[in-house]
Structure 1
Amino acid sequence: MTELLLHGYWRSSAAYRVRIALELKGLPYAQVTHDLRIGAQCEAGYRDLAPQGLVPALEADGTVLTQSLAIIELLDEIRPTPALLPAAPTQRALVRSMAALIACDIHPLNNLRVLQVLRQEFDAGQSQVNAWIGRWICDGFAALETLVAAHGEGFAYGDTPGLADCYLVPQLYSAERFGVDLSPYPALVAAGAVARELPEFARAHPARQPDADPA
């Protein structure tokens, strides 16, 4: 496979997921940044690659893939080890459902473009935006907490890092950014802490990215 080119933004949780997966797989990649704060992802040149104007997008072998779940599953197929999904079909489906709980039910409601609509079209202040963010994170985390408590053995699922951790760690980062109280979710916090200790997760952290704001 030719070099992988990841289009993203340092603080995008969806791009963060893909970076974690790339690091876990040990796959070399280059990055192109699109500053979401100034709408760089909406520029015509990028929309030619990613028609939705969203990050991440991955260029691989002449194909451009969007949507983090599709990208991560491709990485799992082209580099089967270490596996990000369990071997048994029902277990694989369970882990996918854990990832989808974040990707489909939490993150879209807290995406930057949604928050901009709240601010610009509904005159929401920052306290209202933060309440909105917290509401949907807590709603999803309450459900995910039961799954991690039941199926985690150190990590979000089982005793090795995998797909669920690729989604959990960035969502925890987002929750912490906005001051969400995480005390009701001890299993999530514990699994996230274990994952964050790994060098692969550390390298993928937003603050370690070349386009990150100065500390």
Structure 2
Amino acid sequence: MIKLHGFSASNYYNVPKLALLEKGIPFEEVLSYSGAGPKYKPEYLDKSPLGKVPALETPEGFISESRAILDYIERSYPTPALLPDTPFHIAKVQELAQFIELYFELVARRLIPSLLLGTKPDPTALKEVEKGLEKAVTALPKLSSFETFAYGDQFTLADIAAILNLPIVRNVGKAFLGGDPLTQVPNLDAYCARMEERPHVKKVRADAAANRPDFMAHLKALYGL
């Protein structure tokens, strides 16, 4: 049985976790927090060279980085498919997923330490995040109408990217930008509400909520907070 190493409060970990659940693939979860210093578990670097989560343990060895793990899962367990059946549409799903990761999640993530610790963000960083998210919000409707799924008429990797990354943007917006910037995207609110009703999404959310207190305790112990 394959094993997924990481922790459920991490959206990066939940990307392959949700893919595995949606495909119905048996897997074991192995709790491991990220990092590479002396306060971490140095043996984890044999699984993920930079000490990041997630890492997937397969019969042939370990794979790190969510994108590579997703590719392994899709090629090893092709049904049910999380990608369309033509090269163009596959590329469009990957385009949308990468757009969400790069121009929403990574931009908003700069303010996550302030969100977790309850501190005020650096004003320069705040302005840069706000400007970056404004550009992404304007561009997103060109890639998806969000009428049914994120792309096309089936649940794909683009939906996984949207479900697990866009809530970070919402939380950052509400905390620091005076409101949720994603409400400006047509059909997105209704789309997100539909996705939250999926059983495996509910499981991922519940597991994340259950793990969050332990993760925060880990951070406090690690950084002496």
The TM-score, its normalising length taken from structure 2, stands at: 0.76
SS in 1 for 2:56: strand
Of the candidates 2, 15, 18, which is equivalent to residue 20 of structure 1? 18
- Determine the C-alpha separation between the residues in 1 that align with 2:84 and 2:8: 29
Alignment of 1:164-183 (within 5 A): 164-178=158-172, 179=174, 180-183=180-183
Contact 1:155–1:161 under 8 Å retained in 2: yes
Which 10-residue stretch deviates more, 55-64 or 90-99? Answer: 55-64
- Determine the C-alpha separation between the residues in 1 that align with 2:38 and 2:126: 24
- Determine the C-alpha separation between the residues in 2 that align with 1:181 and 1:10: 26
- Determine the C-alpha separation between the residues in 2 that align with 1:42 and 1:145: 41
2:211 — aligned with what?
211
Alignment of 1:69-148 (within 5 A): 69-111=67-109, 125-126=120-121, 128=123, 132-148=128-144
The alignment's C-alpha RMSD in Å is 3.0
SS in 2 for 1:64: strand
Which 10-residue stretch deviates more, 125-134 or 155-164? Answer: 125-134
SS in 2 for 1:5: strand
Which 10-residue stretch deviates more, 86-95 or 133-142? Answer: 133-142
User: In percent, how many aligned pairs have the same letter?
Assistant: 28
Contact 1:153–1:159 under 8 Å retained in 2: no
Structure 1 position 166, deviation (Å)? 0.7
Contact 2:6–2:54 under 8 Å retained in 1: yes
Structure 1 position 135, deviation (Å)? 4.2
- Determine the C-alpha separation between the residues in 2 that align with 1:130 and 1:38: 28
Aligned residues, how many?
202
2:156 — aligned with what?
162
2:54 — aligned with what?
56
- Determine the C-alpha separation between the residues in 2 that align with 1:22 and 1:30: 10
- Determine the C-alpha separation between the residues in 1 that align with 2:211 and 2:36: 14
- Taking structure 1 as reference, are residues 165 and 26 closer, same or farther at Cα in structure 2, changes over 3 Å only? same
SS in 2 for 1:159: coil
- Determine the C-alpha separation between the residues in 1 that align with 2:171 and 2:136: 17
- Determine the C-alpha separation between the residues in 2 that align with 1:39 and 1:17: 25
SS in 1 for 2:159: helix
Structure 1 position 41, deviation (Å)? 9.4
The TM-score, its normalising length taken from structure 1, stands at: 0.79
1:184 — aligned with what?
184
Structure 1 position 35, deviation (Å)? 3.6
- Determine the C-alpha separation between the residues in 2 that align with 1:72 and 1:105: 20
Q: Where in structure 1 are there 5+ consecutive unaligned residues?
A: 117-123
**Residue type of the partner of 2:21?**
E
Contact 1:23–1:203 under 8 Å retained in 2: no
Higher relative contact order (CA closer than 8 Å, sequence separation 6+): 1
Alignment of 1:39-50 (within 5 A): 43-50=41-48
Structure 1 position 185, deviation (Å)? 1.2
Structure 1 position 7, deviation (Å)? 1.7
SS in 2 for 1:165: helix
- Taking structure 1 as reference, are residues 213 and 57 closer, same or farther at Cα in structure 2, changes over 3 Å only? same
**Residue type of the partner of 1:10?**
S
**Residue type of the partner of 1:201?**
V
